[in-house]
Chain A
Amino acid sequence: MLNRSLVTIADHSREKIEYLIRMAQEFERHPNRLLLQGRIVATLFFEPSTRTRLSFETAANRLGARVIGFADPKVTSGTKGETLKDTIMMVSNYADVIVMRHYLEGAARYASEIAPVPIINAGDGANQHPSQTMLDLYTINQTQGTLDNLNIYMVGDLKYGRTVHSLLMAMRHFNPTFHFIAPDELAMPEPYKQYCRDHNIRYVEHQDFDADVIAGADILYMTRVQRERFTDLMEYERVKDRYLLKLDMLAKARPNMRILHPLPRVNEIEYSIDDDPHAYYFQQARNGLYARQAIICDTLGITLEQIQNDPTIIS
């Protein structure tokens, strides 16, 4: 049997990414359907993540599926010493697809190799978070009308931020130019810069973060600079305010420029920006619903054609 699991987006071709975007567009048009009536989606969150879990559960519920699972690993047998394998094999008896978040890296890959049902990776430690990448790609395409030839500026924690790493790799099909803006301690790691060079992706590194730098951006992808990531707290105090986005920094921004953020935000985007037309992070979060509806359907073997000719749409 073909394994339809989604573990990482790095394996996806340009065609597959565009196919999933077209699927998500159908769900944006008609999010409420009975397409998955009679199916059961399990959401296993071995590590709490309220935002991602609610998004997946909403996606399943709006398509008429039923949802089982747990939001807190403290209530599972994992605390009694049950292995991941046993939990996955047990739940595979009940559900048609398993959405899982795990604190260990590679957990979703392993689960996808042993489970008789498809696995959707909803984040495995610092490794992969493909549904986030899918919604980022969907949002970039939605706001720019294309994924090709864009100037994407990544700001903040580029060292540990798995969303920026996944996005960087997924964009390789679309001839992007990246701009990396981060403190030295949180700079884009060398393997990802090497990845850019290997795939002929242009990138520029900046120390400054101001209106002149932002002027060239189509997408400004903000991330949170976390205090706990710094070994030297003096360094944190020195740089923490340098990567905050303030309203006056948008003075020279292109009209098509949009500000994205995987959320939660702490203070890296000034609240006065929320009402600016460049701000797009809340719409981005809503796109998570459509992207996850597409991902769930694709892993269950439902095609774009079926979704386009779906008789179960609830108007």
Chain B
Amino acid sequence: MKRQELIVSALDHGTVIDHIPCDRLFEVINLLHLDQMTSKVTIGFNLKSQKMGTKSIIKVADKFFTDEELNQLSVVAPDVTLVIIRDYEVVEKRPVSLPTELRGIVHCDNPKCITNNEPMATLFHVVDKQQGIIRCHYCNHEQDIRKVKLV
């Protein structure tokens, strides 16, 4: 019988980002600036998943992201799983969590907000983690995190 397995070489050192919704994969790639990476990056798209139907997965060799970088992921893909690998061993497996502040990631959907009219970084405060409500630091406009656009 043919094994239903991903034909990708195992990672000796690095980070695996699993359970990425397929429609969010390219946003995750942009968010982590994977296009500028010099180490080996493996991307799986439209893979079968028992949990999600289809999913995407990213393996990044020799790279351990900061908590801040990884928590930004929660904006585009709140249900991803992070797997940290050292010497072929899984040393850590955890979900991402929404940080209390989002700087320079999310676009404010208020067209009259100063951030949409000046060359400046946006800043949002997470006001309700459960409901996913974030508030613009500048115009106070609230947004649903599931509907945000990235800058």
Q: Could you tell me which A residues sit within 8 Å of B by CB distance? A: 83-85, 102-107, 109-110, 124-128, 191
Cross-chain contact B112 with A105 (CB below 8 angstroms) = yes
B interface residues, Cβ below 8 angstroms from A: 110, 112-115, 117-120, 136-142
Q: Assuming A84-B114, A104-B113, A104-B114, is B120 touching A109 (CB within 8 A)? A: no
* B112 and A85 contacting across the interface, CB-CB below 8 Å: no
* B141 and A105 contact, CB distance less than 8 A: yes
> Which B residue sits closest to A85, measured CB to CB?
B118
Distance A109 CA – B137 CA, assembled complex (angstroms): 8
On whether A105 and B120 interact (CB within 8 A), knowing A110-B138, A191-B142, the answer reads: no
For B119, B140, B141, the residue with the greatest tally of chain A CB atoms inside 10 Å of its CB is B140
Asked whether A126 and B118 contact (CB < 8 A) given A105-B140, A109-B137, A110-B138, the answer is no
Let me know if A105 and B110 touch, CB within 8 A. Answer: yes
Residue in A125, A128, A191 whose CB lies within 8 Å of B112: A125
Q: B118 contacts A105, CB within 8 Å? A: no
Number of A-B pairs whose CB atoms are under 8 Å?
Answer: 49
Known A-B contacts A84-B114, A84-B118; A106 and B142 likewise in contact (beta carbons under 8 Å): no
The interface residues of chain A lying within 8 Å CB-to-CB of B140 are: 105-106, 127-128
Question: How long is the Cα–Cα vector from A84 to B138 in the complex, in angstroms?
Answer: 14
| Most A CB within 10 A of own CB, among B118, B137, B141, B142 | B118
Between A105, A106, A126, A127, the greatest number of chain B beta carbons within 10 A of the residue's beta carbon is seen for: A106
The complex places the Cα of A291 from the Cα of B21 at a distance, in Å, of 54
Cα distance A29–B114 when bound, in Å?
Answer: 39
Q: How far is the CB of B101 from chain A (nearest CB, A)?
A: 14
Task: Using known A-B contacts A127-B139, A127-B140, A191-B142, determine if residue A106 contacts B115 with beta carbons closer than 8 Å.
Answer: yes
In the complex, which residue of chain A has the Cβ closest to the Cβ of B115? Answer: A106
> Complex Cα distance A126/B115, Å?
15
Q: State whether A126 touches B112 (Cβ < 8 A).
A: yes
Q: Which residues of B sit under 8 angstroms from A102, Cβ to Cβ?
A: 114
Tell me how far the C-beta of A5 lies from the nearest C-beta in chain B, rounded to whole angstroms.
14
Q: Which residue of A84, A85, A106, A191 is within 8 Å of B139 (Cβ)?
A: A106
Contact A105 B139 (CB under 8 A): yes
Q: A127-B139, A191-B142 are in contact. Are A105 and B114 (CB under 8 A)?
A: yes
A109: chain B residues within 8 A (beta carbon): 114, 137-138
Rounded to whole Å, the gap between the CB of A27 and the closest CB of chain B is 30
Q: A104 to B113, alpha carbons, bound, how many Å?
A: 6
**Please, how many angstroms separate the alpha-carbon atoms of A216 and B126 in the complex?**
39
Show 27 A/B contacts (Cβ-Cβ < 8 Å), sorted by A. A83-B119, A84-B118, A85-B118, A85-B120, A102-B114, A104-B113, A104-B117, A105-B110, A105-B112, A105-B113, A105-B114, A106-B113, A106-B115, A106-B136, A107-B114, A109-B137, A109-B138, A110-B114, A110-B115, A110-B118, A110-B120, A110-B138, A124-B139, A125-B139, A126-B112, A127-B140, A191-B142
